[in-house]
Structure 1
Amino acid sequence: MLQDKSGRQFHYLRLSVTDVCNFKCTYCLPDGYQCDTSREFLSIAEIKRVVRAFAALGTSKVRITGGEPGLRKDLSEIIQICASTPGINQVALTTNGFNLEKNIESWVNAGLTSLNVSIDSLDSKMFKAITGFNKLDSILRGLAKASVLGLDNIKINAVLMKQFNAHELNSYKEWLKDKPYTLRFIELMQTGDNQSFFSANHVSGLSIKQQLIEQNWLPVIKRKEAGPAEEYYHPNFKGKIGLIMPYSPDFCASCNRLRVSALGQLHLCLFADEGLDLRQFMQSDEQQSDLQNYLTEALSGKKASHYLQQGLTGATRHLAMLGG
């Protein structure tokens, strides 16, 4: 089992397969993808080896992220590799949904068990203003298709921002009354590239949490492989609400996830100062024990906190680098 010096165990791998994204979200890539890194992303063989190594060390959940993972033409094969790895029982995908309607059936057939889609507004004009694209209707049809296909673990991610969509909180709640989704409100996080935007737009999740409690929403018990969200349910709503609050004092205490970038760098935290090179151990099947040993030893360097509350953002220039 992968465990750090604080006693935290890591059951959950967030695997980026590309840092390219085709959206221009105001809080992440307002000027679009800049192509300022190598485009030699992890190969199928390298993905197979790194997932196998994590699984051998107790990882049971893999989330495929980007950038935008839907830009990879071999995404179905990547999902299938993760789903067929002994020990992996959950394969999740985080996507902006641009080709969800077209490809969700092939992804589910490949073994996808969980889907997260970013929808930062339910108003088509605001959605376009935030992302740069008029894709909301297609994304909503893709979500409905996912439900019909039997995918019952569907989550919607929304980053609330004062100058854009913070006023939509009640609209989101009403939308959830008859939708079997978990809607997660994510606090805007400061990165190397968005400091002034962060200052003007950050909305605290604690105020939303207080509203939910006052409106009789009840906490959901978290599973060991679950992400960082605090989830709530209400007997009058089909959907749930989750809050991801990285600025809360105890946010890092339950950390259970590690990140591998599309270039094969291990990031012990989303806001780590640097990545650690795993790719050198991914070049042959004979290196599996070396890769596992390196992963085990690397955990000794994981810090107790991300120190975001102190304004430290590490090497993360924008969230597309590691998929959040």
Structure 2
Amino acid sequence: MTTNHEHHTPQQPEAPVTPPEPVLPGHTQGERLTDMFARSISYLRISLTDHCNLRCQYCTPQEGQIKLASEELLSYEEILRVVRIAVSLGIEKVRLTGGEPLVRRDVLVFIKALAEIPGLTDIRLTTNGVLLADYAEALQKAGISKLNISLDTLRPERFRQITGVDAFDRVWAGISKARELGFSPIKLNIVALKGVNDDEFIDFARLTLTEPLQIRFIEFMPIGASALWDKGKYISSQEIMERLKPLGPLEPVEAKRMDGPARIYRFAGAAGSVGFISPISHHFCDRCNRLRLTSEGRLRSCLLSDQETDLRKSLRSGATDEEIRGLIVAAILNKPKGHTISPEGGGSCHGQMSRIGG
């Protein structure tokens, strides 16, 4: 906070100071909306579809898993309406996720319309990278400013084993194209899995010594059907950091206001950085600033909570903008203080990750 010091002579009586009105939960402070725990909510993640062109082990491994029909997805018009209302409440940043957002038809037309919403200052995309080489230039022109690319291995054969698709070269071509076009930052998201890709942590981190990439290690989370969760594959951020010590000490990087939950570090003289997202070992709930809109139109105020608000039903039953606004505010007011999920199995989150949005 900046403090202004005004100097007064004894002959000039000091004007009475009117204390600022307290900001009530669910009310705006300037352009920001706060929840019951004084967290400013400014970030909306939107899953455009639960469909994907990969079948990653920890996301959608079940055979014959039913995907949403097109009419069950929110239409682009419905999503744009929700975003306009959310922006009027103080949302500044939107991230498009899936599933794989680039497999949805006419996604570029939608992104261009999204970029025209006044007050929306930051539009980002999370992708698995398979289609990125083809889409990168058009995405940049449409209004995407920053990219997150999911990549759990640097080894083509292991990529095929994890995802079920032989597409590593296509993903790497997409990353190279994004770099060529000047996207910054480019973040590579690695779900850390003991016994699966933990022998590559140093290889990933070493990329940052010469490449302007942000390598982000994400703790494996117990989301979805219980059969997907394997405690034996969980590895904490602290253990990952220990494994990176041969590359040298990690220096913390100061976080910016619009940054996400990752704790960011840099090796001395490195071109890039290393991030750690630790929802299990180091809860970041106290600074969570986000909402999530699932591909079937349900609003979640916490990734790791099953509590949802069905916006699709209201949107399609004639609800006014003010009524939708009220539902968003209510979801924010019901945002939990924190989650209770632990590697020992505490808490529960039974939502399907491909629908919630990665």
Q: TM-score, normalised by structure 2?
A: 0.84
Q: Which amino acid aligns with 2:300?
A: H
Give the root-mean-square deviation of aligned CA atoms: 2.1
1:178 alignment counterpart: 210
1:86 positional shift: 1.1
Q: 1:274 to 1:146 in 2, by over 3 A?
A: same
Q: Secondary structure at the match of 2:46?
A: strand
Percent of pairs identical after alignment?
Answer: 36
CA deviation after TM superposition for structure 1 residue 163, in Å:
1.9
Contact 1:8 1:254 in 2 (8 A): yes
8 Å Cα contact 2:236/2:281 also seen in 1? no
Which of 280, 302, 305 is the equivalent residue of 1:269?
302
How far is 1:81 from its partner? 2.3
Question: Does the alignment pair 1:41 with 2:73?
Answer: yes
Classify the secondary structure of the residue corresponding to 2:125.
strand
Structure 1 position 232, deviation (Å): 0.8
- In the superposition, the TM-score normalised over structure 1's length comes to 0.93
Distance, in Å, in 2 between the alignment partners of 1:235 and 1:254 is 28
- 1:220 equivalent among 253, 259, 273: 253
Q: Is 1:296 aligned to residue 333 of structure 2?
A: no
1:2 aligned counterpart, secondary structure:
strand
Are 1:122 and 2:154 an aligned pair? yes
**Residues 1-324 of structure 1: pairs in structure 2 closer than 5 A:** 1-31=32-62, 34-39=65-70, 40-195=72-227, 197-210=229-242, 215-282=248-315, 287-309=320-342, 311-316=346-351, 318-324=352-358
Q: How far did 1:225 drift?
A: 2.0
Aligned amino acid, residue 46 of structure 2: L
Between the two structures, name the one with larger relative contact order (CA 8 Å, sep ≥ 6). 1
- Please state whether the residue corresponding to 2:41 is helix, strand or coil: coil
More displaced 10-residue stretch of structure 1: 205-214 or 265-274:
205-214
Instruction: Tell me the CA shift for residue 236 of structure 1.
Output: 2.5
State which drifts further: 129-138 or 215-224.
Answer: 215-224
Per-residue Cα deviation, 1:78-97 (whole angstroms, up to 9, x for no partner): 22222221111111111111
The answer to whether the Cα contact below 8 Å between 1:162 and 1:202 also exists between their aligned partners in 2 is yes
- Shift of the alpha carbon at 1:286? 8.2
Pick which of 30-39 and 92-101 moved more. Answer: 30-39
Task: Quote the offset at 1:285 in angstroms.
Answer: 10
In structure 2, how many angstroms separate the alpha carbons of the residues matched to 1:240 and 1:278? 38
Q: CA–CA distance in 1 between the matches of 2:273 and 2:171? A: 19
Who wins on radius of gyration, i.e. which is larger? 2
Distance 2:357 2:319 in 1: 30
Cα distance change on mapping 1:66 and 1:295 into 2, 3 Å = same
Shift of residue 268 of structure 1? 1.2
Comparing 186-195 and 239-248, the one that deviates more:
186-195
1:313 CA drift (Å): 2.2
In 1: Cα distance, 2:64 partner to 2:186 partner: 27
Gaps of 5+ in 2: 1-31
Paired amino acid for 1:69: P
Supply the distance in 2 between the matched residues of 1:79 and 1:144 (Cα, whole angstroms).
22
Give me the whole-angstrom Cα distance separating, in 2, the residues matched to 1:154 and 1:79: 19
Structure 1: distance between partners of 2:144 and 2:327: 29
What is the rounded CA distance, in whole Å, between the counterparts of 1:172 and 1:259 in structure 2? Answer: 29
Shift of 1:33: 6.5
Are 1:62 and 1:82, in contact at CA under 8 Å, matched by a contact in 2?
Answer: no
Deviation at 1:11, TM superposition (A): 0.9
Tell me if the contact between 2:127 and 2:148 (Cα under 8 Å) persists in the aligned partners.
yes
Give the aligned length. 323
Structure 1 residues 177-186 or 208-217, which shifts more?
Answer: 208-217
Show structure 1 runs of 5+ residues with no match: none
- Retained in 1: the 8 A contact 2:50–2:67? no
Deviation at 1:138, TM superposition (A): 1.2
What whole-Å deviation, never above 9, does each CA across 1:120-169 have from its counterpart, x for those lacking one?
00011111111111111111111111122221121101111112100101
